[in-house]
């Protein structure tokens, strides 16, 4: 049983009373028309007391507060207004209206995302617990895993003075649900909390509403695990990953090592300047199942084309290059060692490497630039973490989730720089692509490029910063998620708590999609978007995720160039997520490569045979117009569930009367017992095998080129074993078969 908890103490940081006084006239004007009384949404000042309790938590050395003076009541009313801005209220109302499956899926993402990360780093969360009739507000301070699919949260509610209650939740196949709650909660929303100073009058003892002496928090039970690293096989782990069977390691019959030692303190620096995560470890199991994986085997971090990539830890470059056909494309592999324990980080889909083999690097060193080489569609950084001796169920040996090891607070840069002022607590986001400069003027050197929609923490005096935001000619000192500090133009940023901010959700169009001025086809077209355009969705992350792929829904987005508008939610997809089938089926007119991207130089995932029914994904009208046209590409799903792209001029809308017989066949045989792999690399999962002397039928489109690879080290050939299992075989263990 694993317990992750924070230092939040309801007896010290919470309140020993509940304040029910509420201004009856406090109403919120809705965006289009009408008003909403906040008194109907929340009991008393519970939302304000939740924020105030967290303010007290962030101000060390506080004491119990057992009654409310008039000054305390005014403070709580102000924090109530801060806790319930219009966007939060609308998000709460929308969550109530969501259908149960969509709500459970949204809850799952929250449970495996911010809840886990925040509690693990000691930061309690402000929650709105959505019920049938009203909403409760409180502080989530601890999380306990009871079993593989059950969790217990410990929540302080202002309506229960000085106490906390346990809430049990269960991970289901389609999301998360509450299973023990007398309050009839149906969902929850994490509130965008920003610490505020506690009023000065509360710092003096003996004032009305404060106990005379500070009270020390109760000691924790001896079996409580403070600051323990997340247990990777329990609690918050993806259900598919927890239930998956182990796959075979590098060679036939080799047994992977088990159990990474929990005591090794591996810390990784954030390797990009963006804090957005496009795809988590273990996500999208259906996409990765054909490759023999229970889900995504790494972490996809948002990084536009050409963005800086930094070393995540001190180490040595083991490899920097682009192995032929490797799904990671241009990549860097670093070897690290901590207290005798060896681990490796892999940085994939790069456009340029800035280091060479055997180079020594420090955490934070610039090592590469981002792109989308290999099996990638849309520029980003794929980060893989391997720890010697570790084993995650269902994955190749040594691969683990990098997220628990990534530092949540960026460390100082490795090179000596000027002393930095403290964080101001004011977070801003960029409204256009900006340069992060060494000094506050346009002639200063550039340290990094920052895309539109990126969140940055400002440094310095909050009063001065607030006065500069949005003003022409002013500059702000900031720090990125990767720990790089510098200056940005203040007239191209906005506060995240004063406007509709960018979320951490990035989507891509399924084809040529219009960016419109409003949520409907009747609005003007602002721009024509391409499939590789990264679009940051605006608003609450979990609520917008529930809309993706749904007919009739629209998303407000911002392009990497800063243009804002609306796109049809059913015409976009997340990283690692495939668009829905459009109802069109096509058939190869011969052996046909299914590629990772719509380009002739993209990696070949599989080879489709004549007669294979390929489901076309995306927009139906657009797909029908492309069939048979030279230069066009179709996004398809094969009968084996591989998703990729095929040349539209090499498919037909009608199934052949009988499968075409190839003019020639290339048959090989295995010289040893040999693995069939999902991709042409030793790192790929095993999907089958060939025994010594068994026949291997080549399925590649160019049989002459395939034959030239036979016996060559480092080459791979795609084909089929006698049992009909298809995959990639090491060409250096294949020999011609005598007919």
Average pLDDT over residues 551-579: 85
Q: Are 209 and 68 in contact (CB under 8 A)?
A: yes
In the structure, what pLDDT confidence band is assigned to residue 240 with cuts at 50, 70 and 90? very low
| % of the chain surpassing 90 pLDDT | 21
Half-sphere exposure of 390 (CA within 13 A, CB side): 24
Of 379 and 176, the structure prediction assigns the larger pLDDT to 379
Tens digits of residue pLDDT in 691-715: 999 999 998 888 888 899 999 888 8
Section 193-206 average pLDDT: 68
pLDDT at 476: 95
- Classify 430 as helix, strand or coil: strand
Give CA–CA dist 331/369, Å, rounded.
10
Q: What is the pLDDT of residue 61?
A: 67
- 15 within 8 A of 49, measured Cβ to Cβ: yes
**Tens of pLDDT along 434-475?**
889 999 988 888 888 888 888 899 999 988 998 898 888 899
pLDDT band at 407 (very low <50, low <70, confident <90, very high): low
**Listed residue (503, 586, 498, 512) closest to 548, CA to CA:** 503
Residue closest to 54 by CA, chosen among 146, 252, 166, 190: 190
pLDDT surpasses 60 at 195: yes
> Is residue 24 pLDDT above 80, yes or no?
no
Q: Which of 65-79, 262-276, 527-541, 694-708 has the highest mean pLDDT?
A: 694-708
Highest mean pLDDT among 142-146, 376-380, 383-387, 424-428: 383-387
Does the pLDDT value for residue 243 go beyond 70? no
pLDDT for the residue 668:
93
Residues 108-134 have a mean pLDDT of 72
CA–CA gap between residue 520 and residue 552 (Å, rounded): 9
Say whether pLDDT at 248 is over 80.
no
> CA nearest 450: which of 484, 412, 497, 425?
484
Predicted confidence at residue 1, as pLDDT, reads 56
Calpha distance 452→429 (Å, rounded) = 8
What mean pLDDT comes out for the span 398-407? Answer: 87
Phi, psi of 617 (to 5 degrees): -105, 150
Per-residue pLDDT, 25: 45
What confidence score (pLDDT) does residue 17 get?
A: 92
Task: Identify the band that residue 335 occupies on the pLDDT scale cut at 50, 70 and 90.
Answer: very high
Over range 508-525, report the average pLDDT: 84
Q: Is the pLDDT assigned to residue 213 strictly greater than 60? A: no
pLDDT at site 28: 57
For residue 204, pLDDT beyond 90 = no
pLDDT of residue 156: 93
> What does the alpha-carbon distance between residue 331 and residue 263 come to, in Å, rounded to a whole number?
30
Cα–Cα distance, 447 to 429 (Å, whole number): 18
The percent of residues in the chain predicted with pLDDT above 70, rounded, is 80
List of residues 6+ apart from 123 with CB closer than 8 A = 6
Dist CA 488 CA 449 (whole Å): 10
Higher pLDDT, 547 or 86: 547
* Band of residue 100 on the pLDDT scale cut at 50, 70, 90: low
Cα angle 269, 273, 274 (rounded to 5 degrees) comes to 105
Q: Report which of 281, 384, 377 is spatially closest to residue 332, judged by C-alpha positions.
A: 384
CA–CA distance, 662 with 669 (Å, rounded to integer): 19
How high is the mean pLDDT of the chain? 79
List, for residues 336-377, the tens digit of each pLDDT value: 998 889 999 999 999 889 999 999 999 989 999 998 888 877
* Start-to-end CA span in the chain (Å): 61
For residue 245, the model assigns a pLDDT of 29
Query: What is the three-class DSSP state of 263?
Result: coil
Supply 417's token pair. Answer: 């720089």
Q: Helix, strand, coil: what percent of the chain each, to 5?
A: 15, 35, 50
pLDDT of 32 over the 60 cut: no
Model confidence pLDDT, tens digit, residues 583-616: 899 999 888 888 888 888 888 888 888 888 999 9
Beta strand extents in 547-642 (DSSP E only): 554-559, 564-568, 572-574, 581-588, 592-595, 604-608, 614-617, 633-637
Confidence of residue 26 (pLDDT cuts 50, 70, 90): low
pLDDT at 409: 44
pLDDT at 252: 36
pLDDT at position 680: 83
Q: Rounded to an integer, what is the distance from CA 196 to the centroid of its chain? A: 29
Residue indicated by tokens 């962030």: 58
Which spans in 343-448 are helix H? none
Rounded-to-integer distance, Cα 498 and Cα 85, Å: 9
Query: Which residue did the predictor score with more confidence, 433 or 739?
Result: 433
**H or E stretch covering 527:** strand 525-529
Q: Strand pairing partners for 494?
A: 429
pLDDT of 149? 67
């Amino acid at each position: 049983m694993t317990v992750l908890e924070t230092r939040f103490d309801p007896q010290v940081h919470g309140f020993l009373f509940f304040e029910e006084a509420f201004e009856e006239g406090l109403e919120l004007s809705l965006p289009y028309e009408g008003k909403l009384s906040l008194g109907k949404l929340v009991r008393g000042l519970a939302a304000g007391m939740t924020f105030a309790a967290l303010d007290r938590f962030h101000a060390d050395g506080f004491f119990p507060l057992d009654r409310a003076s008039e000054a305390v009541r005014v403070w709580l009313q102000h924090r109530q207004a801060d806790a319930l801005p219009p966007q939060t209220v609308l998000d709460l109302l929308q969550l109530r209206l969501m259908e149960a499956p969509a709500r459970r899926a949204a809850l799952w993402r929250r449970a495996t995302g911010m809840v886990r990360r925040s509690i693990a780093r000691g930061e309690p969360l402000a929650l709105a617990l959505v019920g049938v009739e009203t909403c409760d507000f409180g502080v989530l301070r601890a999380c306990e895993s009871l079993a593989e699919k059950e969790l217990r949260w410990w929540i302080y509610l202002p309506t229960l003075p000085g106490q906390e209650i346990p809430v049990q939740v269960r991970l289901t196949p389609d999301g998360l649900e509450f299973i023990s709650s007398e309050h009839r909660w149906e969902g929850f929303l994490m509130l965008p909390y920003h610490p505020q100073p506690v009023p000065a009058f509360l710092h003096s003892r003996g004032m009305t509403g404060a106990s005379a002496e500070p009270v020390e928090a109760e000691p924790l039970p001896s079996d409580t695990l403070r600051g323990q690293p997340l247990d990777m096989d329990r609690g918050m782990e993806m259900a598919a990953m927890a239930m998956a069977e182990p796959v075979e390691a590098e060679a036939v019959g080799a047994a992977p090592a088990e159990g990474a030692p929990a005591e090794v303190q591996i810390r990784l620096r954030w390797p990009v300047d963006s804090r957005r995560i496009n795809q988590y470890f273990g996500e999208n199991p259906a996409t990765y199942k054909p490759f023999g994986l229970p889900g995504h085997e790494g972490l996809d971090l948002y990084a536009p084309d050409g963005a800086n990539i930094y070393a995540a830890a001190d180490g040595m470059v083991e490899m920097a290059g682009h192995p032929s056909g490797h799904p990671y494309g241009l990549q860097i592999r670093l070897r690290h060692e901590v207290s005798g324990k060896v681990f490796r980080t892999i940085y994939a889909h790069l456009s340029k490497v800035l280091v060479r083999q055997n180079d020594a690097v420090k955490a934070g060193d610039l090592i590469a630039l981002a792109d989308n080489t290999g099996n990638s569609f849309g520029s980003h950084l794929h980060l893989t973490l391997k720890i010697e001796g570790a084993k995650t169920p269902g994955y190749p040996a040594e691969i683990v989730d990098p997220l628990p090891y990534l530092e949540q607070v960026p460390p100082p840069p490795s090179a000596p720089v000027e002393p930095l002022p403290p964080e101001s607590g004011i977070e801003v986001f960029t409204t256009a692509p900006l340069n992060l400069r060494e000094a506050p003027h346009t002639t200063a050197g550039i340290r990094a490029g920052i895309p539109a929609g990126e969140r940055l923490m400002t440094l310095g005096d909050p009063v001065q910063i607030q006065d500069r935001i949005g003003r022409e000619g002013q500059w702000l000192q900031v720090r990125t998620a990767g720990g790089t500090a510098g200056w940005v133009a203040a007239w191209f940023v906005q506060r995240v708590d004063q406007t509709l901010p960018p979320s951490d959700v990035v989507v891509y169009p399924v084809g040529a999609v219009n960016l419109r001025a409003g949520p409907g086809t009747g609005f003007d077209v602002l721009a024509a978007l391409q499939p590789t355009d990264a679009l940051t969705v605006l608003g609450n992350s979990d609520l917008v995720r529930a809309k993706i792929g749904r007919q009739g829904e629209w998303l407000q987005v911002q392009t990497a160039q800063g243009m804002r508008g609306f796109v049809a939610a059913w015409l976009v997809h997340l990283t690692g997520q495939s668009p829905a089938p459009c109802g069109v089926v096509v058939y190869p007119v011969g052996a046909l490569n299914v590629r990772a991207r719509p380009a002739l130089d993209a990696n070949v995932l599989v080879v489709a045979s004549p007669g294979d029914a390929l489901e076309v994904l995306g927009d139906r009208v657009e797909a029908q117009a492309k069939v048979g046209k030279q230069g066009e590409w179709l996004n398809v799903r094969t009968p084996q569930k591989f998703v990729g792209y095929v040349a539209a001029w090499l498919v037909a809308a009608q199934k052949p009367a009988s499968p075409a017989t190839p003019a020639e066949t290339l048959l090989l045989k295995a010289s040893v017992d040999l693995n069939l792999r999902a991709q042409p690399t030793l790192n790929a999962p095993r999907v089958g095998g060939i025994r010594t002397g068994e026949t291997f039928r080549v399925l590649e489109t160019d049989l002459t080129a395939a034959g030239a690879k036979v016996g060559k080290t480092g080459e791979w050939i795609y084909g089929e074993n006698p049992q009909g299992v298809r995959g990639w075989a090491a060409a250096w263990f294949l020999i011609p078969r005598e007919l």
